[in-house]
Amino acid sequence: MGIEDIKDFIVELEKHGELKRVKTEVDSDLEVAEIMRREMYSNGPAILFENVKGFDMPILGNAFGSMKRLEIGLEMTDFTEIGQRIADMTKMDVPSGLLNKIKKLPELTKMTASFPKAETSGPVTEITSSEASFDDIPILKSWPDDAGRFITLGLVATKHPETGVRNLGVYRMQIVDKTHALMHWQKHKRGAHHSDISKDKGEKIPTAIIIGGEPATIFSSIAPVPEGLDKYLFAGITRKEGIKTVKCKTIDLDVPANAEIVLEGYVDPADIRDEGPFGDHTGYYTPVEPYPTFTLTGIMRRKDPIYVTTVVGKPILEDAYIGKVIERSFLPLIQMFHPEVVDFSMPAAGWFQGFAIISIKKRYPGQAKKVMMGLWGMGQLSLTKMFVVVDEDINVHDINDVIWAITTRADAARDTTIIDNAPTDTLDPASPLVNLGSKMGIDATQKTREEGYMREIQQQVKVDEDTKNLVDSKWSSYGL
């Protein structure tokens, strides 16, 4: 059996020395967040706070704050497997004839095994009530100038009002009172799109806030999957086994059966209130802005739930590691559309949405710019502020190698592309307008005559093979 829920995950983390328990009483108002940040900045473990002031519910933090913990939770070491499974599915031929269908059965079985499985009950249905309150949950206040307490790792479930395709997204939520919170789903996010469709129809949109679940489901809620792909199916593809779902009690939505808590309700697109400020992953407080209101109508939860949360701030914190898995897992999908791409990196210090480096196998003039334009047209990559494209001999994960390529292969006037009046991440603190700014692309590939480089290409300094082999063979004798 794989990891089925947060409690299984805790057992595995503890087994691998990746979790510490804190038994000292802690306050969910600022104290817990500061402990989590200090541990994350020093590469510390996941933390289970067992004694939270005023609550009988423990808090799990930093659970995904290292590549090792993500390997444990997602039960794999090569995260490109996730994207490769999707790519393989898109290439799968539909068999004709009985014999061919029989031959294809193993592949088809693997695909259907990833679909979610509807259940009548599950661990999250142990306690249900229409009398729900945010005050019963140890929701954190993270930074001193935050507007209040914020849910930061709630998986927000909606479905497309017309197609019924289910979505999970992680959007912060500012608590207003016992039954109301503000839903910070940015304009470019799928949840906001669902809300806009409902608003056009003059309707409220059923919404569920899921706390906990299988690590694969939590990861899937953050991952920017291709448009139209059901997030529950993506979770099944990630874990190679379909997740179990149950029906909510007060709204028409399916939710993961193995969650810790499900907060049921609706978002009213017509009820707009000021949200923020909030200390965000850019390292700045995002200013006050209008967002719609979520109204709590019911709760489902385990008898002994764990509140799973995260803190954000100036990189590098927990979200950086999740972002690295997203980067790795989506490389095969990028290569599907742009086969010249060799590797791809979104450095954590650039808060992922701000900066990306792409290496390509260059075959013709202008190819670097072609790749930039193509990636700016792909889903959430459309919000990436800066792209640097390098040749395949450059390691995109070594920033020194990338800087060397920029300074030896790029000319500022010739190889810098600026695009004005383009969509930007809502949280970008530098853009002149919210959601609108400029983009920059740097072509740091070796230029050719066709691209206007009329000089002789200088020869790189490299050791000759004879000397390399000689030193290799004598290395142990040097005493170094």
* Residue 357: partners with Cβ closer than 8 Å, 6 or more residues away: 344, 345, 346, 347, 387, 388, 389, 390, 396, 402
The alpha carbon torsion through 213, 215, 217, 219 (nearest 10 deg) reads: 140
Provide CB contacts within 8 A for 291, sequence distance 6+. 182, 183, 184, 185, 272, 273, 275
CA distance 376 to 423: 10
Q: How far is CA 464 from CA 217, 467, 469, in A?
A: 50, 6, 9
The Cα 57–Cα 36 span in angstroms is: 17
| Peptide bond between residue 277 and the one before it cis (omega within 30 degrees of 0) | yes
Q: What single string gives the DSSP state of each residue in 73-84? A: HHT-S-THHHHH
Query: Is-contact 430 438, C-beta < 8 A?
Result: no
Interatomic CA distance for residues 261 and 136, integer angstroms: 11
Active-site pick, 230, 280, 425, 443: 280
Q: Is 280 part of the annotated catalytic residue set? A: yes
Catalytic residues: 280
